[in-house]
Structure 1
């Protein structure tokens, strides 16, 4: 019985070692992707643009980026859209890029009407399958990521923003350039 006990112990030890090795390997080499947090590098993405074609965050390397996840159905999104447009107009010459990511709304004509209503001229990207929303961990609308010119997330704001708040955070991103 002693010989069987030893082989059972070795089998259990080998199994535990495999489980631990698998756990360490998947967390170190690409297990589940977690949403970006303050201090993380921006997780790049590319989406179809409302204007046609595809726009990706990699196109704006070296520039501060504001990524606003929104929907036409969201009252705080409606309230902050004019202020986001004013921030676009104020900071575009300083290299700040504002990207609006619409969250899966169909028909797209509703998004087009919203953009026309508010005179939005910054790029509007479409996330019809909500893949980017899920990768970024967005659960409440609006959610906005403020990214510095080095590609590091500096602030994540869940919920509506005032124009003063936007101006302050974007101003800080400009100073970091």
Structure 2
């Protein structure tokens, strides 16, 4: 299906989950969350890519850290998608849908140095933090308290990942 935008009609009655949010507010929340969901999937796959392809003297430490971070990122995706559905909207349906919504860029390079991997993932996590903060403003304006509280948790997790990546990169090989 096509990307959901603020100008589209609400979902078909079969998928119309009841919500007390105003239609325009619910669509704004869904758009913000779908962007975060797409970025989360893109960041998950990039983190796993780097996990699979990291090399060098710190291999074990980086390999394990990236696996832990990928697991954490993937762990948020279901909750993000379910928040979209709870607002009476629909969420992403395919890899193509993710690609249309994602802002975090893929990395298809054959080789990336460990230092560059950590730096790129740090910047991507910080970009996700910025998107989460933007979404926080949107959901607070919509009076979507449940999403607002969860966004705080997701922001904290992304900030922690960025911090770990920063600290690990100080002596990256």
User: Normalized against structure 1, the TM-score is what?
Assistant: 0.28
Q: Which has the larger radius of gyration?
A: 1
Higher helix share: 2
User: Normalized against structure 2, the TM-score is what?
Assistant: 0.28
